[in-house]
Amino acid sequence: MGGALSGRWSWHTKRPTVEESRTLDLSKLKRDGAFYPGCTGSVRWLRGETEISSIAYTVGQQEGDLVLTLHYKVTRTGEDVTIPVRLETTRPRFGGVRWWGRCACGRRVGKLYLPDAETRFACRQCHGLTYASAQEHDKRVDALRKNPDALMAMLSDVPGNLSNANLLLALKASFAERKRWGI
């Protein structure tokens, strides 16, 4: 057991990640001064110095609310896409204003994503996106979880002798155990 190609990942493909998708960060648009009626602009995605895609946007008012309208053309299909995103604000506890957009599904989001295989910007849940870190697995953490004595020995090591990497590994295993047992 545990030989080459013995893992389950070959049985299915991994879910697409937010890191692989084009991300439209609404708070960045706000910082750039885009959220006032009549504002127009564009957002570009680069790979190195080469532009890989871009969208145009306009901000208007509809029924008293600000609406960010995204305009772009899907290169592989030639489809012209227009997506209205209703903008909302909340007031954080310690002051200021936080801006949100409403996805087509109704969720309030701070970022919208466009994976390579899709044609519409939407939230992470609509596209079934996950984070790359959720798909990573550290076998050393499993080994420490299965052997609590080794974990305790690592944690009780003299702080001067414990490297940063080993400390991080021990903390990951410790937190994983606490989460597992609801501590």
pLDDT tens, position by position, 31-41: 999 999 999 99
Within 13 A of 27's CA, how many CA atoms are on the CB side? 7
Contact 29, 40 (CB under 8 A): no
Span 64-101, pLDDT tens digits: 899 999 999 988 888 999 999 999 999 999 999 999 99
pTM attached to this predicted model: 0.69
